[in-house]
Amino acid sequence: MSGQLNRAARILKKGGVVAYATEYCFGFGCDPQNRTAVRRLLRIKHRPAAKGLILIAADVVQLAPYVDDIPAPVHATWPGAHTWLLEARPGIPGWVTGRHSRIALRVTAHPQAAALCRAAGMALVSTSANRAGRVPARRYRDVLRQFMHEVDYVLPGRVGDAPAPTPIRDAANGALIRPG
């Protein structure tokens, strides 16, 4: 598996788009600092850029370029299947935040997704592997069938046992933005 993981990490570092397993479904990922990669990922998904994207990381250190402060209640939920909206640092590209001033972040509890972030040495864009409005792919072979000619690599793996996508909460007040 380490060879496949390293291959995926190399592709990400070179500006590629990779599909990989997460807590609930397969996700599409890329380097959030690479505008060309993010735009390509959005085209694959047919997702409007204004919506913004979730970033996942192996640890809070990988999130430091994106936020100045992670409140203790948020920190206490990580690693885990909890995505939080936090105030983005000034200068975070609009291709990541969309039309919002905040950014959606998660320190993933999925072992392979965390290993991919570590191997790539960065937080990654993480959005469900599907066309906007469609059901996310939950099996490796489904991702291959639907997207193998559009993404640069599909990392073999298994999704976690989460029963739904991770909930998204507002870190300022705990309000539920997207149920899990």
C-alpha distances in Å from residue 2, one per residue of 53, 126, 136, 140, 174: 27, 20, 26, 17, 38
Please give the pLDDT value at position 106: 98
**Token pair belonging to 155:** 């990392």
User: Which CATH number belongs to the domain containing residue 61 in this structure?
Assistant: 3.90.870.10
Q: Is the pLDDT of residue 180 over 80?
A: no
| Mean pLDDT confidence for 99-104 | 94
- Residues 6+ away with beta carbon under 8 Å from 102: 85, 86, 87, 88, 170
Please give the pLDDT value at position 1: 56
pLDDT in tens, 154-165: 999 999 999 889
Please give the pLDDT value at position 2: 86
- pTM for this predicted structure: 0.95
Domain that holds residue 118: 2-178
Q: Which candidate, 30, 33, 25, places its Cα nearest to that of 8?
A: 30
Residue with tokens 């206490």: 76
Domain count within the chain: 1
Averaged pLDDT of the chain = 95
pLDDT in tens, 33-81: 999 999 999 999 999 999 999 999 999 999 999 999 999 999 999 999 9
